[in-house]
C-alpha cells in the first residue's frame, strides 16, 4: 500500500509537487518506536505524529488557474488502520463537508492510533458550480476506476484511487440525496463483506441498506484494493441539515472506535442494532401534477397506505399515491411539481412496523453530542 513519489498529479510528473502545510509543526515529534509505514500523498510525505494539509493538483481551469483537491491527513504516532473519510464526491452534496469539519476539531485526534485521511471536497469542480457532476457532465461516482489519460472525471477518479484509496485500509463516503430529494440517515454497504458489515453496524444509524456494487462507483473500485467502504446517505443536496450532520459525526467517531483508532466510549450505551434492509422500492407518480405529500421521512408505512395525492392546479383529477410495499420511508422527493413516473417515495421494505419503531427509538439525532470524545462539540452552534 505504499506509494510511488512520482505520481504527483494527472499529468505524470509535469505538475508541481502538491502544496503542503504542516500544522502545529511536529506538535508531537515522531515517536521513536513508531512502526508506521511511510505515507506519501501527492509527493508529500506525512510522518507519524504529523498533521498536514495537502493541496493535490487536479487540473487547470480554462483561465489557467490551477485546481487542487484539499486533503487533511492526521497521523497518529502509533500504527493502526488508515481510514479515509470523503465528501462531495457529488459536488452538490455538502452535509459531509460539515461532518468532516467537525470531525477535524476533535482533540481526541491527538491520541489517534493509525491515520485519518479527510477529503472534504472530492469533486472540487462540481462543488464550485454547485453541481453533482463535473464540467464534462460526467458523474464521478460512475467514472471509477478512471485513467490518467481519460476524461476529466476519469482522471479525478484515478487520482483519488492512487493517492487516497491506495494508502487506506477502510473508507467512509459521505453523500446526501440528489437535489430536491431528502434521505433519512442511512448506511449503504455490501453486507456480504464482513468488514463492511462491521463498519456499517458500528456507524449506528437506524437503517443499514444492503447494496451491491454499482458499476463505476468509488465503493466498487475500492473493493479492488481490498478497502471496504461504507456510504453514509443523509439529507438533501445543497443544504446543511443539523441532525444529519450530527448523526454523521457520531457515526464516523463510532467507526473509528470500532477500528480502535480512538479510545472506546467510557459511557455504557445500550443501542439497538440497526435494522438491515435487503430490498427497497421507489413509489412513482401515478399522474403528472402537484403532489400533496402525507408521509414524512423516516415514517413506517403499510402496504396500500396513502402517501400523498397528486392533482392538477384546479384541484381536479385527484389521484392517490399509495405505498406499493410496507416498510419505512428512507427517501423522498421534496418538490411538489411532478411528472408521471417521477420517483416520489423510497420505501425500505420491512413488514414489522414495531421493529422499525424500535430501531428508530434510540435514534436522537437532535440530542446533544454524547459524552466522551464528541462532548466537546456540544458548544458547536447548531445550524438551523
Ligand atoms: Zn451522492
pLDDT tens, per residue, the chain with 384 residues: 444 433 344 444 334 467 777 765 444 444 445 467 789 999 999 999 999 999 999 999 999 999 999 999 999 999 999 999 999 999 999 999 999 999 999 999 999 999 999 999 999 999 999 999 999 899 999 999 999 999 999 999 999 999 999 999 999 999 999 999 999 999 999 999 999 999 999 999 999 999 999 999 999 999 999 999 999 999 999 999 999 999 999 999 999 999 999 998 776 666 778 999 999 999 999 999 999 999 999 999 999 999 999 999 998 899 999 999 999 999 999 999 999 999 999 999 988 778 888 888 878 776 778 667 788 888 888 999
Which residue spans within 251-381 are E strands per DSSP? 275-277, 280-284, 289-293, 300-301, 306-311, 319-322, 327-333, 337-338, 343-349
Q: Where are the alpha helices (DSSP H) in 210-320?
A: 218-223, 242-258
Letter string b/e over residues 146-180, b meaning 16 or more CB atoms within 10 A of that residue's CB: beeebebbbbbbbbbbbbbbbbbbbbbbbbbbbbe
**Sequence-separated (6 or more) residues with CB below 8 Å from residue 197:** 189, 191
Between the CA of 22 and the centroid of ligand 1 the distance, in Å, is: 31
Question: Nearest-CA neighbor of 227 among 251, 195, 265, 202?
Answer: 195
Residues sharing a CB contact under 8 Å with residue 348, sequence separation 6 or more, in sequence order: 186, 207, 209, 277, 279, 280, 327, 328, 329, 330
Dist CA 280 CA 273 (whole Å): 19
Q: How far is the CA of 221 from the centre of ligand 1 (A)?
A: 16
Question: How much distance in Å is there from the Cα of 328 to the middle of ligand 1?
Answer: 21
Q: DSSP string of 80-134?
A: EEEEEEEE-SSTT--HHHHHHHHHHH-GGGGG-EEEEEEES-SSHHHHHTT-SS-
Question: What's the CA-to-centroid distance between 262 and ligand 1, angstroms?
Answer: 27
pLDDT of residue 2: 41
CA 331, 337, 341, 342 dihedral sign is negative
Q: 92 alpha carbon to ligand 1 midpoint, in Å?
A: 8
pTM, two decimal places: 0.91
Find out whether 56 and 161 touch, Cβ atoms under 8 Å.
no
279-361: CATH, from 2.120.10.60, 2.40.50.100, 2.40.40.20, 2.60.120.10:
2.40.50.100
Question: Distance (Å, rounded) from C-alpha 132 to C-alpha 122?
Answer: 11
- pLDDT at residue 24, as a whole number: 53
Distance 93 CA to ligand 1 centre (A): 6
Which of these, 314, 303, 310, lies nearest to 284 by C-alpha position?
310
Residues of the chain with CATH 2.40.50.100: 279-361
Distance in Å, CA 278 to ligand 1 centroid: 20
Q: How far is the CA of 50 from the centre of ligand 1 (A)?
A: 31
CATH 3.40.630.10 positions along the chain are 19-271
| Residue 87 CA, ligand 1 centroid: distance in Å | 9
By DSSP bridging, strand 229-235 and strand 170-175 are parallel
In CATH, 19-271 is 3.40.50.720: no
Amino acid at each position: 500500500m505504499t506509494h510511488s513519489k512520482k505520481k504527483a498529479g494527472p499529468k505524470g510528473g509535469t505538475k508541481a509537487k502538491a502544496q503542503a502545510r504542516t500544522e502545529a509543526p511536529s506538535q508531537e515529534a515522531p515517536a521513536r518506536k513508531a512502526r508506521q509505514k511511510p505515507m506519501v500523498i501527492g509527493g508529500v510525505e506525512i510522518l507519524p505524529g504529523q498533521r498536514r494539509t495537502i493541496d493535490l493538483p487536479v487540473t487547470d481551469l480554462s483561465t489557467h488557474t490551477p485546481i487542487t483537491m484539499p486533503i487533511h491527513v492526521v497521523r497518529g504516532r502509533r500504527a493502526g488502520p488508515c481510514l479515509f473519510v470523503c465528501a462531495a464526491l457529488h459536488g452538490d452534496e455538502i452535509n459531509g463537508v460539515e461532518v468532516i469539519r467537525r470531525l477535524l476539531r476533535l482533540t481526541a485526534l491527538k491520541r489517534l492510533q493509525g491515520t485519518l485521511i479527510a477529503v472534504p471536497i472530492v469533486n472540487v469542480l462540481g462543488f464550485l458550480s454547485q453541481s453533482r457532476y463535473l464540467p464534462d457532465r460526467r458523474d464521478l461516482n460512475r467514472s471509477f476506476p478512471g485513467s490518467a489519460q481519460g476524461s476529466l472525471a476519469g482522471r479525478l477518479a484515478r487520482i483519488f484511487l492512487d493517492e487516497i484509496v491506495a494508502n487506506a485500509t477502510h473508507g467512509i463516503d459521505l453523500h446526501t440525496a440528489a437535489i430536491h430529494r431528502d434521505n433519512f440517515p442511512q448506511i449503504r454497504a455490501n453486507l456480504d463483506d464482513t468488514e463492511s458489515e462491521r463498519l456499517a453496524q458500528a456507524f449506528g444509524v437506524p437503517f443499514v441498506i444492503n447494496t451491491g456494487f454499482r458499476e463505476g462507483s468509488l465503493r466498487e473500485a475500492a473493493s479492488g484494493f481490498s478497502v471496504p467502504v461504507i456510504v453514509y446517505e443523509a439529507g438533501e443536496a445543497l443544504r446543511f441539515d443539523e441532525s444529519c450532520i450530527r448523526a454523521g459525526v457520531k457515526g464516523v467517531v463510532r467507526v473509528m472506535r470500532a477500528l480502535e483508532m480512538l479510545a472506546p466510549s467510557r459511557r455504557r450505551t445500550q443501542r439497538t442494532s440497526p435494522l438491515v434492509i435487503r430490498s427497497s422500492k421507489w413509489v412513482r407518480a401515478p399522474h403528472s401534477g402537484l403532489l400533496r405529500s402525507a408521509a414524512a421521512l423516516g415514517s413506517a408505512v403499510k402496504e396500500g397506505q396513502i402517501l400523498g395525492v397528486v392533482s392538477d392546479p384546479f384541484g381536479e383529477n385527484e389521484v392517490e399515491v399509495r405505498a406499493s410495499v410496507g416498510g419505512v420511508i428512507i427517501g423522498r422527493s421534496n418538490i411538489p411539481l411532478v411528472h408521471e413516473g417521477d420517483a416520489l417515495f423510497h420505501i425500505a421494505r420491512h413488514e414489522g412496523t414495531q421493529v422499525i419503531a424500535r430501531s428508530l427509538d434510540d435514534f436522537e439525532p437532535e440530542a446533544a453530542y454524547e459524552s466522551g470524545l464528541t462532548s466537546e462539540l456540544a458548544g458547536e452552534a447548531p445550524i438551523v
